Amino acid sequence: MPAALDLKEEILALKKARNAVILVHNYQSGDIQDLGDYVGDSLGLAYHAKATDADVIVFCGVHFMAETAKIVNPGKIVVLPDKDAGCSLEQSCPAPQLEAFLKANAEKNYYVIAYINCSGAVKALCDVICTSGNAVKVVNQAPPDRPILFVPDENLGAWVMEQTGRKMDLWKGNCYVHVEFTRDSINRIKAEYPDALVVAHPECTQAVRLLADEVCSTEKMVTYVKNAPVKNIIVVTESGMLHRLRKEAPDKNLIAGPTDRCACADCRYMKMNTLEKLRDCLDKLEPRVEMPEDIRKRAEAPLLRMLEQSK
C-alpha cells in the first residue's frame, strides 16, 4: 500500500480512537484539506470549534487559530500539528505593544476591534473580534460615539472603511503573503486572460483590490466562483484556496494570482503542517495549545461577542 494511503488510514483510525475532530483552514495543503471534518475560513472554523462535541480538536492551520479554539473550549484538548506555525499578522501586533499604545492613548477611549489573526493576549485587550467574512457587519455595530482602533491588518481595515464609511485608526500590520500581489503582477495576468474575473482577499493592498471584480473572504470566494458567469477566474489569495475551489467548482478554470516573483503565493506557516505531523499530534496529543485562564476568559468575551454579532 502506498505510504500516503497508510498515513491517511492511520490518521483516520487515530481520529476515531481519540474522539477527535479535524478542523482545516482553506490555506492548508490539499492532502490535509481532504482529511478535514470541516474545511473553511476563520469564521466558520470558530463556529465549528465552539459547537464540537469531540474530546480533541486538531487544528490544521496556524497557532492563533488553534488558540481561538482553545479560548472557546477550555475543557478540551487542542493540538496543532506544528507548534511553530505562526502568522506575520499576529507577529505585527505583540500584546505588550498594543497594551502600551492603549495606555498612552487612554483619553481616546478606543473601541478596539481585532481581526482574528492575532494572539489570545491581544484578543484579551479588545472589545470585539472580526474575520474578513464578518468585519463589515462587526464594524457597523460598533458604538457610534467611540473612535475605533482596528488591529492588526491595515489593508483589511482600509477595505472595511471603504465598505462602511466608518473612520478607524489602523494598526500598521499586514499579511506578508497578500502584500506580495502587486498592481503590475495582477495586470499582467489580466492581460493574458482578458475575459477573466478577478476575486481578491481584502488583506491585499488597495492597488490590487481596485483591480478585482470582487473582494471577499475565502469562504465567500466559493460562492462567487461557483456562480461566476465566466469560466476563467483569477484568484488572488494564498495558494491553498485553489484546492478547495477546484473541488467545489470543477467546471471553472481557476488561475492563481501571481506575485512579481511567481504564481506561488504560499504561506510558509500554513504549509508547515504535514500529514506526518498531523498523525503524530493525534498519536501523542502534542503539541498542545494552553493559555493562562485569566487571559483566556478575557479573550473569550470579544470572541463570543463576534459570534453573536455575525449571526
Tens of pLDDT, residue by residue over 131-174, are: 999 999 999 999 999 999 999 999 999 999 999 999 999 999 99
Mean of the pLDDT values across residues 46-54?
91
Q: Is the pLDDT of residue 78 over 70?
A: yes
Buried b (16+ CB within 10 A) or exposed e, 205-226: beebbebbebbbbbbbbbebbe
pLDDT band at 230 (very low <50, low <70, confident <90, very high): very high
Backbone angles phi, psi at 169, to 5 degrees: -85, 135
Confidence at residue 179, expressed as pLDDT on a 0 to 100 scale: 95
Contacts 24+ apart (CB under 8 A), 140-147: 140/164, 140/166, 141/309, 142/111, 142/113, 142/166, 143/111, 146/109, 146/110, 146/111, 147/108, 147/109, 147/110, 147/111
CA 254 – CA 196 distance, rounded (Å): 9
How far lies 140's CA from each of 164, 188, 303, in Å? 7, 36, 17
- Which of 5 and 108 is assigned the larger pLDDT? 108
Confidence at residue 208, expressed as pLDDT on a 0 to 100 scale: 98
Confidence at residue 4, expressed as pLDDT on a 0 to 100 scale: 63
Please state the pTM of the whole predicted model. Answer: 0.94
Q: Is the pLDDT of residue 186 over 60?
A: yes
pLDDT band at 58 (very low <50, low <70, confident <90, very high): very high
Q: What is the DSSP string of the chain?
A: --HHHHHHHHHHHHHHHHTEEEEEETTS-HHHHTT-SEEE-HHHHHHHHHH---SEEEEES-HHHHHHHHHH-TTSEEE-S-TT---HHHHTS-HHHHHHHHHHTGGG--EEEEESSS-HHHHTT-SEEE-TTTHHHHHHTS-TTS-EEEESBHHHHHHHHHHH---EEE-SB--TTGGG--HHHHHHHHHHSTT-EEEE-TTS-HHHHTT-SEE--HHHHHHHHHH-SSSEEEEES-THHHHHHHHH-TTSEEEEPP-SS-S----TTGGG--HHHHHHHHHH--SBP---HHHHHHHHHHHHHHHHHT-
Contact in structure between 61 and 45 (CB atoms under 8 Å): yes
Kindly state the cell numbers that stand for 158: 482600509
Confidence at residue 165, expressed as pLDDT on a 0 to 100 scale: 97
